[in-house]
């Protein structure tokens, strides 16, 4: 990991455009903005420790750093063979009886069930006698709703988008000393620009954040 930055690191920047906004409110809206930007760009990439599958088990939990959760799968491979990232509806098109825990086979598809776990199809069998499959995953992360910080490299890269996203919401709050709907609209445009720019880079494989499989706490 590259270390962390707290959401309150942006207090001076935010308060310059929203004078009088209290630090707890700034922290709340910066965190919300960071979550949205991570979701919209999938830029915060993380490589999990390899998972060894178990025959007959098709649901597995993600293992991510503290105060993070998964907002997307970006790559998955089983024993070096890439899996297709898909949806549950598409799985049922291929295997109407899925999850079939009797007729097991080598998984070929993967999909995210929720921020905590993912599912494999077909349901894994045993690769060889006494040998199971090794699953490699690259994930897109976001901060959890109770996080107070996030990976520094990612925060640095996404800072402009996060600042404008936070100000878009803060300046739209009604009846506040810092309310400014015209500036909120301008920040909304800036946020959209920076998110689009960063999403394009992520689509080209230019992720940010940690690709280390070593687990460290964030807060």
What range does the domain containing 91 cover?
A: 45-142
Terminal alpha carbon distance of the chain? 13
> Picking from 86-90, 151-155, 185-189, which range would have the lowest pLDDT averaged per residue?
86-90
Query: Structural domain tally of the chain?
Result: 2
Do 64 and 133 fall into the same domain?
yes
User: Percent of the chain at pLDDT above 70?
Assistant: 91
Do 89 and 103 fall into the same domain?
yes
Task: State the pLDDT confidence band at 214, using cuts at 50, 70 and 90.
Answer: very low
The pTM of this model reads 0.87
Give dist(CA 157, CA 52) in Å, integer: 33
Give dist(CA 15, CA 156) in Å, integer: 19
pLDDT at position 211 over 50: no
**Looking at residue 131, what is its pLDDT?**
84
Contact 140, 70 (CB under 8 A): yes
**Looking at residue 215, what is its pLDDT?**
37
Q: What are phi and psi of 3, to 5 degrees?
A: 90, -175
Q: Which of 114, 142, 170 is the last residue of a domain?
A: 142
In a domain, 16, yes or no: yes
User: Region 190-214: what's the mean pLDDT?
Assistant: 73
């Amino acid at each position: 990991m590259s270390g962390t930055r707290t959401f309150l690191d942006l207090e001076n920047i935010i308060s310059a455009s929203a004078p009088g906004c209290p630090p707890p409110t700034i922290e709340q809206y910066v965190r919300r903005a960071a979550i949205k930007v991570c979701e919209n760009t999938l830029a915060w990439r993380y490589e999990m420790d390899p998972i060894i599958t178990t025959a007959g088990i098709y649901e597995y939990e993600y293992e991510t750093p503290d105060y993070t959760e998964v907002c997307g799968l970006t790559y998955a491979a089983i024993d070096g063979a890439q899996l297709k990232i898909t949806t549950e509806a598409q799985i049922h098109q291929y295997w109407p009886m899925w999850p079939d825990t009797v007729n097991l086979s080598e998984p070929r598809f993967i999909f995210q069930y929720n921020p905590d776990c993912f599912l494999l199809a077909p349901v894994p069998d045993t690769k060889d006698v006494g040998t199971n499959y090794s699953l490699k995953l690259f994930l897109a992360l976001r901060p959890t709703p109770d996080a107070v910080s996030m990976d520094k490299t990612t925060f640095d890269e996404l800072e402009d988008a996060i600042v404008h996203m936070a100000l878009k919401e803060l300046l739209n709050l009604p009846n506040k000393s810092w309310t400014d709907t015209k500036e909120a609209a301008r920040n909304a445009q800036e946020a959209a620009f920076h998110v689009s720019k960063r999403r394009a880079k992520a689509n080209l494989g230019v992720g940010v954040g940690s690709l280390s499989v070593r687990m460290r706490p964030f807060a």
